[in-house]
Amino acid sequence: MKILLMGHPNVGKSVFFNRLTGANVTESNYPGTTVDYTKGWMKIEGEDVEIVDVPGTFSLDPKDRAEEVAVAMLHENRDAKVISVIDASKIERGIYLALEIIEEGYPLVIALNMRDVAEDKNIVIDADRLERILGIPVVSTVAIAGEGIKELVSRLKEAKPVNVEDIIANAANASTTESVADAGGAA
Ligand SMILES: Nc1nc2c(ncn2[C@@H]2O[C@H](COP(=O)(O)OP(=O)(O)OP(=O)(O)O)[C@@H](O)[C@H]2O)c(=O)[nH]1
Ligand SMILES: [Mg+2]
């Protein structure tokens, strides 16, 4: 199995990578470019799994060479699972990339990283609710402290392709349920 760590620049992908892999990592130059990336290995339930620290990208519509490499790496690995690392304090920006990757049919889990930074800004994200809407695992993490990493790994087996139409339907349902609940509460 191969796992791609993907997300915006500076969201903690490499901290995740270092926590997941051991000493056995190799840094390579993506062919024909000056863009470097790192890959390594870990064992999950006895299986050797390759982990790739993909260069940061804001979207799948690349704006520079590093983003081109990130998108190419995704497309070269059609059978990979993706750990989508999102800065929980800037979730509305990060979720867009995750949705693009979901739309292309990749099985994905979301790490809502930097929960500590989000909390400092009084941002609290209901990971369970987001998980119900997206239909894939969403785990809050603080990568620098190792928090949530084990849970994230244990839930990788639940990563599955989801239909964007289903997500839209779930989101519509969730907001209806919420407004009904709010109305009930106010009555
Ligand atoms: N407070 C806090 N800082 C974090 C957390 N995770 C990572 N960081 C810090 O955020 C910065 C960026 O982390 P990196 O792992 O280098 O981010 P990256 O996604 O690999 O960035 P690029 O390789 O540039 O795309 C570093 O200073 C990390 O120490 C977290 O959960 N909480
Ligand atoms: Mg990095």
For residue range 15-26, what is the model confidence (pLDDT) as tens digits? 999 999 977 899
Give the type of residue at 56: G
Decide if pLDDT at 4 tops 90.
yes
C-beta pairs of 148-155 under 8 Å, 24+ apart in sequence: 148/111, 148/115, 149/16, 149/19, 149/20, 152/83, 152/109, 152/111, 153/20, 153/44, 155/109
Q: In what order do the strands lie in the sheet with 2-7?
A: 25-29, 36-44, 47-53, 2-7, 81-87, 108-113, 138-140
Residue nearest to atom 2 of ligand 1 (CA): 114
Q: Quote the pLDDT of residue 185.
A: 46
Q: What is the pLDDT of residue 50?
A: 97
Ligand nearest to the CA of 12: 1
Query: For the residues 48-59, what does the mean pLDDT come to?
Result: 97
Residues with CB under 6 A from ligand 1: 7, 9-15, 56, 113-114, 116-117, 142-144
Which ligand is in closest contact with the Cα of 10?
Answer: 1
Q: Measure Cα distances from 122 to 108, 125, 140 in Å.
A: 27, 10, 15
Q: Which domains does the chain have, with CATH numbers?
A: 2-162 (3.40.50.300)
pLDDT of residue 179: 59
What proportion of the chain, given as a percentage, has pLDDT over 90?
89
Q: Which atom of ligand 1 is nearest to the CA of 8?
A: 25
The residue contributing the CA closest to ligand 1 atom 25 is 9
* pLDDT value for 180: 57
Output the residue whose Cα is nearest ligand 1's atom 8. 12
Computed over every residue of the chain, the mean pLDDT equals 93
When pLDDT is averaged across residues 130-145 and rounded to a whole number, the result is: 97
Residue nearest atom 30 in ligand 1 by C-alpha distance: 114
Residue 158 in this model has a pLDDT that exceeds 80: yes
What is the Å distance from ligand 2's center to 36 Cα? Answer: 10
Band of pLDDT at residue 121, cut at 50, 70 and 90: very high
Q: What's the one-letter identity of residue 156?
A: L
User: Which of ligand 1's atoms lies nearest the C-alpha of 147?
Assistant: 31
Can you give the pLDDT at residue 187? Answer: 44
pLDDT band at 93 (very low <50, low <70, confident <90, very high): confident
